[in-house]
Structure 1
């Protein structure tokens, strides 16, 4: 039962409608989570929360998102690319040198501006992203550069801006891996991890309508704590 409650809480907490309607309580560190009045609704909400949980857990592979046959609307996100259209050389092209981070006082890593190119989606990207997904992911996209020759192609606006714990997720990750700080170029799997992060975030954003619908259903069928127990 405890796991069901936690996963239900995660589903509610990731609903944009819930976050907007309960902003004051969240700011005061006293958010209230509505509990559904039926077992079926609790299980349904918890199952949705499990989807969010898997997407947040970077140690767990997610089918169609980070492993297996990647869903078409995610496959085109954060594609590692070379500016001349050629293949990346993992021995030469993966140093992160676009000034995403630098050493501050007392060894504190400070974020840098990096190199970002904002642009419209190209025709190939638009072919695999529905109008709804585009609305959820953002009206524009970004190419995010490792260095002068390598970049992650097509990280949508809301994916790039996505924050957890007050920090911009992908940018924060990059800031600690600038070559002078890390002492080496990125490994191939580390470059791939950025693609995985972007696709996980995109999948969470695409879930937002379902998360909002779940929240509305729970609001309409909330357990009445004042009623006598049976």
Structure 2
């Protein structure tokens, strides 16, 4: 995260994948970013705050029809994230990344699903 108040703004979160150019930048991003503030005209005067290094497959991961990372942040709109919140979000990212890795390993070993 970059310095700021850690508040999840109303029109956020917004995800930008590697290679995309967010409104606050002039060059494509090398890694995915999840912005929690500063990407709208109304808030462009203050520094944008974001989580960096979020792969697209982690951002898009769903459980029960909900996009996990997006929902977690949307549930916290309008309030500032605490240090505990920031650490919890980072841990969710790691857990989802590891889950995706394990799913890929299982798929590689088992093959087609359902089993025939």
TM-score after normalising by structure 2: 0.68
Q: Deviations over 1:36-91 (max 9, x none)?
A: xxxxxxxxxxxxxxxxxxxxxxxxxxxxxxxxxxxxxxxxxxxxx32xxxxx3xxx
Bigger Rg over Cα:
1
Runs of at least 4 residues off by over 6 Å: none
Alignment of 1:1-230 (within 5 A): 81-82=1-2, 88=3, 92-97=4-9, 99-100=11-12, 114-120=13-19, 141-148=31-38, 149-179=48-78, 184-215=79-110
Tell me, in whole angstroms, the C-alpha distance in 1 between the residues paired with 2:15 and 2:67: 14
- Structure 2, unpaired ranges of 5+: 20-29, 39-47
- Structure 1, unpaired ranges of 5+: 1-80, 83-87, 101-113, 121-139, 221-230
Report the CA distance between 1:215 and its aligned residue: 3.0
Query: What do you get for the CA RMSD once the two structures are aligned?
Result: 2.3
Tell me, in whole angstroms, the C-alpha distance in 2 between the residues paired with 1:141 and 1:167: 23
Aligned residues: 94
Higher helix share: 1
TM-score after normalising by structure 1: 0.37
Report the CA distance between 1:193 and its aligned residue: 1.5
Q: Deviations over 1:199-222 (max 9, x none)?
A: 111111112342124535xx69xx
Q: In structure 2, the residue corresponding to 1:146 is in which secondary structure?
A: strand
Tell me, in whole angstroms, the C-alpha distance in 2 between the residues paired with 1:195 and 1:99: 21
Tell me, in whole angstroms, the C-alpha distance in 2 between the residues paired with 1:93 and 1:116: 19
Report the CA distance between 1:116 and its aligned residue: 2.4
